Amino acid sequence: EDQVTQSPEALRLQEGESSSLNCSYTVSGLRGLFWYRQDPGKGPEFLFTLYSAGEEKEKERLKATLTKKESFLHITAPKPEDSATYLCAVSESGGSNYKLTFGKGTLLTVNP
Amino acid sequence: DAGVIQSPRHEVTEMGQEVTLRCKPISGHDYLFWYRQTMMRGLELLIYFNNNVPIDDSGMPEDRFSAKMPNASFSTLKIQPSEPRDSAVYFCASSPQSGGSGYTFGSGTRLTVV
């Protein structure tokens, strides 16, 4: 069973059309939930870390929220430059476990 | 800071050959991670190091894969012998002790085994 499931796999929006990406996770204890952006041919780029249910983080047109079972990445009035694959990852609590388990990502395309 | 530096960017090799991927982490980062990315399986953790010591290698697919970190500024991932199913993008990432700001990834090595 996957620990991190992202949906949808792909999303196509018109410029200015707001939407949300979903990340559901199943871990015994959450150390942190991470969002990354990945452009073609590049490594993932860190966006946010969320630690507890109810927490929210914002950066420009992006806002990430967290509940006990899932996280949402809200994109408000997106622009074509927001097109990328968005990856969610979790780190489990306990010991010295710093490894991240990633979902397969959502490919976002924003058309002008 | 130049970020995490990986080399080569692209590698094409024949089945059965040895392949060595290289990584220079960000100075001062205590953790180093090797991931593999494919369309089918996404990003998979292969192995990670803390202060140059391997902590978890449970993701290494088989004995053909090995990784070393001889010092704080250099790591290698070796595949011997390589097989077509090893074709993927291999990422190195590093992180400070706190981990709160996530990893910093390199640009990856695209490996093609023919």
Residues A43-62: pLDDT tens digits? 999 999 999 999 999 999 99
**Residue B52 pLDDT more than 80?**
yes
With an 8 Å Cβ cutoff, are B48 and A32 in contact?
Answer: no
Residue of B86, B81, B36, B38 whose CA lies nearest to B63 = B81
Minimum distance, in Å, between the CA of residue B12 and any CA atom of chain A? 16
Going by pLDDT thresholds of 50, 70 and 90, the confidence category of residue A93 is confident
Going by pLDDT thresholds of 50, 70 and 90, the confidence category of residue B100 is low
Per CB-CB distance under 8 Å, the chain B contacts of A3 are none
Of B42, B45, B107, the CB nearest to A99: B45
The Cα A107–Cα A96 span in angstroms is 32
Going by pLDDT thresholds of 50, 70 and 90, the confidence category of residue B66 is very high
% of chain A with per-residue pLDDT over 70: 96
Tell whether B99 lies on the interface with A, counting CB pairs under 8 A: yes
Going by pLDDT thresholds of 50, 70 and 90, the confidence category of residue A95 is low
Q: Is A51 left (phi over 0), alpha (psi -120 to 50) or beta?
A: alpha
Strand A30-38 and strand A45-50: the pairing is antiparallel
With an 8 Å Cβ cutoff, are B91 and A49 in contact?
Answer: no
Work out the average pLDDT over A18-35: 94
Per CB-CB distance under 8 Å, the chain B contacts of A33 are none
Q: Is B56 left (phi over 0), alpha (psi -120 to 50) or beta?
A: beta
Work out the average pLDDT over A95-103: 78
Q: Residues 34..93 of B with a Cβ closer than 8 Å to A: which?
A: 41-43, 45, 48, 50, 55-56, 91, 93
Going by pLDDT thresholds of 50, 70 and 90, the confidence category of residue B65 is very high
**Residue A63 pLDDT more than 90?**
yes
